[in-house]
Structure 1
Amino acid sequence: MSSFRFGEFILAPDERKLTRGGLELPLGARAFDMLCFLVANRHRVLTKAEILDAIWPEIAVEESNLTVQVSALRKALGPKSLSTIPGRGYQFVLHVDEGTSAPAPHADKGDPTAPKILVLPFSNTSNDADQEYFSDGVTEDIITDLSKVAALSVVARNTAFTFKGRAVDVAQTARDMNLTHVVEGSVRKSGNRIRINAQLVDGATGHPVWAERFDRDLTDIFDLQDQITEAIVAALKVRLVPSERMAIKSRPTDNAAAYELYLQARYHHLRFDRQNYAIAGRLAQKALEIDSDYDLAWALLAISQTGLFGLSASTEHGLQAAERALSLNPDLTEALAAKAFVLAGLGRFDEAFELHARSFDLDPESYDVRFHYGRTCFQTGRYADAIVHWERAAELSEADLAATSHIAMCYRATGQHEKVLDTARRTLARAERLLSENTSDSYALITGVSALAKLGEAERAKQWSVRAKAVDPDDPSIDYNIACAMALLGQTEAALDTLEACLLRVDAVTFSVWIKQDTDLDPLRGEPRFQRLVRELDARAAAAKT
Structure 2
Amino acid sequence: MDLEFGNYRLKRAERLLLGPKGPMVLSARSFDILAMLLERPDEVIGKTELFDAVWPGLVVEENTLQVHISALRKLLPAEMIVTVHGRGYKYAGPQPFGATAETPVLPRPSIAVLPFDNMSRDPEQDYFSDGITEDIIAELSKFREFLVIARNSSFQFRGKANDVAEVAKKLGVQYVVEGSVRKIGNRVRVTVQLIDASSTAHIWGEHYDRELDDIFAIQDEITQMIAARLARQARTAIASRARARPTDNMSAYEFYLRALQLAAVYETVLEAEPFLRQAVKLDPRFAAAHAMLSFVESMKFYWDYNNPGHLHSGLEIARTAFGLDPDEAYGHLATGFAHLYLRQFRQAEISLDRAVALNPNDPFILSIRAIHLNYTDRPAEALVEINEAQRRDPYAVGWYEDFRGIILTTTGRYREAMACYAKMATVPPWSLVRLIVCHSELGEIKQAQDVLARVKAHYPGLGLDEIVDTEVDYYEDPAVCSRYRAILQRVDKEE
| Aligned partners of 1:187 and 1:196 also within 8 Å | yes
Deviation readout 1:416-459 (Å, 9 max, x if unpaired): 3321232223x33xx4xxxxxxxxxxxxx4559978x959xxxx
Distance (Å, rounded) in 2 between the aligned partners of 1:307 and 1:15: 42
Pairwise CA distance, 1:512: 8.0
2:420 alignment partner in structure 1? 423
Distance of aligned partners of 1:128 and 1:85 in 2 relative to their CA distance in 1, 3 Å threshold:
farther
Distance (Å, rounded) in 2 between the aligned partners of 1:330 and 1:339: 12
| One-letter amino acid matched to 2:193 | Q
Q: Is 1:345 paired with 2:341?
A: yes
| One-letter amino acid matched to 2:405 | A
Deviation readout 1:397-417 (Å, 9 max, x if unpaired): 333512312322333344433
Distance (Å, rounded) in 1 between the aligned partners of 2:172 and 2:402: 32
Deviation readout 1:193-226 (Å, 9 max, x if unpaired): 4332323345454354554443444323123324
| Aligned partners of 1:182 and 1:201 also within 8 Å | yes
Mean Cα deviation higher: 172-181 or 382-391: 172-181
Q: Is 1:220 paired with 2:199?
A: no
2:275 alignment partner in structure 1? 283
1:170 alignment partner in structure 2? 164
Distance (Å, rounded) in 2 between the aligned partners of 1:117 and 1:414: 33
1:16 alignment partner in structure 2? 6
| Aligned partners of 1:391 and 1:404 also within 8 Å | no
| One-letter amino acid matched to 2:278 | K
2:117 alignment partner in structure 1? 123
2:250 alignment partner in structure 1? 256
2:351 alignment partner in structure 1? 355
1:441 alignment partner in structure 2? none
Structure-to-structure mapping, 1:517-528, within 5 angstroms: 524-526=488-490
| Aligned partners of 1:119 and 1:160 also within 8 Å | no
Q: Is 1:383 paired with 2:379?
A: yes
Distance of aligned partners of 1:211 and 1:194 in 2 relative to their CA distance in 1, 3 Å threshold:
same
1:69 alignment partner in structure 2? none
Pairwise CA distance, 1:272: 0.5
SS at match of 2:179: strand
Distance (Å, rounded) in 2 between the aligned partners of 1:90 and 1:323: 24
| One-letter amino acid matched to 2:415 | E
Distance (Å, rounded) in 2 between the aligned partners of 1:326 and 1:381: 30
SS at match of 1:198: strand
Structure-to-structure mapping, 1:187-336, within 5 angstroms: 187-190=181-184, 192-201=186-195, 203=197, 205-208=199-202, 210-229=204-223, 244-273=238-267, 276-309=268-301, 311=303, 315-317=309-311, 318-336=314-332
Deviation readout 1:347-403 (Å, 9 max, x if unpaired): 222322333344345544332322222323344454334333333333333335123
2:398 alignment partner in structure 1? 401
Deviation readout 1:28-56 (Å, 9 max, x if unpaired): 25758999xxxxxxxxxx99887444212
Pairwise CA distance, 1:270: 1.4
Pairwise CA distance, 1:320: 0.8
Distance of aligned partners of 1:219 and 1:401 in 2 relative to their CA distance in 1, 3 Å threshold:
same
| Aligned partners of 1:295 and 1:325 also within 8 Å | yes
Deviation readout 1:38-94 (Å, 9 max, x if unpaired): xxxxxxxx998874442122999999x99xxxxxxxxxxxxxxxxx96452333369
Task: Please report the RMSD computed on the Cα atoms of aligned residues, expressed in angstroms.
Answer: 5.2
| Aligned partners of 2:321 and 2:328 also within 8 Å | yes
Distance (Å, rounded) in 1 between the aligned partners of 2:297 and 2:269: 8
Partner residue of 1:183 out of 152, 177, 192: 177
Distance of aligned partners of 1:238 and 1:310 in 2 relative to their CA distance in 1, 3 Å threshold:
closer
TM-score by length of 1: 0.59
| Aligned partners of 2:149 and 2:171 also within 8 Å | no
Mean Cα deviation higher: 519-528 or 385-394: 519-528
Distance of aligned partners of 1:314 and 1:235 in 2 relative to their CA distance in 1, 3 Å threshold:
closer
Distance of aligned partners of 1:188 and 1:54 in 2 relative to their CA distance in 1, 3 Å threshold:
same
1:139 alignment partner in structure 2? 133
Pairwise CA distance, 1:499: 0.6
Distance of aligned partners of 1:410 and 1:174 in 2 relative to their CA distance in 1, 3 Å threshold:
closer
Distance of aligned partners of 1:192 and 1:508 in 2 relative to their CA distance in 1, 3 Å threshold:
farther
Distance (Å, rounded) in 2 between the aligned partners of 1:241 and 1:417: 47
Deviation readout 1:139-198 (Å, 9 max, x if unpaired): 233345556789x85644459726533543334666898977543112233554433232
| One-letter amino acid matched to 1:54 | L
What residue ranges of structure 2 are gaps of 5+ in the alignment? 12-16, 22-28, 55-61, 80-103, 437-445
| Aligned partners of 2:137 and 2:151 also within 8 Å | no
1:161 alignment partner in structure 2? 154
| One-letter amino acid matched to 2:385 | H
Distance (Å, rounded) in 2 between the aligned partners of 1:388 and 1:227: 34
Distance (Å, rounded) in 2 between the aligned partners of 1:261 and 1:55: 50
| Aligned partners of 1:285 and 1:301 also within 8 Å | yes
Distance of aligned partners of 1:234 and 1:373 in 2 relative to their CA distance in 1, 3 Å threshold:
closer
Equivalenced residue count is 416
Distance of aligned partners of 1:527 and 1:221 in 2 relative to their CA distance in 1, 3 Å threshold:
same
Distance (Å, rounded) in 2 between the aligned partners of 1:171 and 1:49: 42
| Aligned partners of 1:119 and 1:183 also within 8 Å | yes
Distance (Å, rounded) in 2 between the aligned partners of 1:495 and 1:160: 32
Mean Cα deviation higher: 508-517 or 334-343: 508-517
Structure-to-structure mapping, 1:68-147, within 5 angstroms: 86-88=64-66, 89-91=68-70, 92=73, 118-145=112-139
Distance (Å, rounded) in 1 between the aligned partners of 2:413 and 2:5: 48
Partner residue of 2:9 out of 28, 32, 36: 28
Distance (Å, rounded) in 1 between the aligned partners of 2:264 and 2:320: 22
Pairwise CA distance, 1:305: 0.9
| Aligned partners of 1:182 and 1:203 also within 8 Å | yes
TM-score by length of 2: 0.65
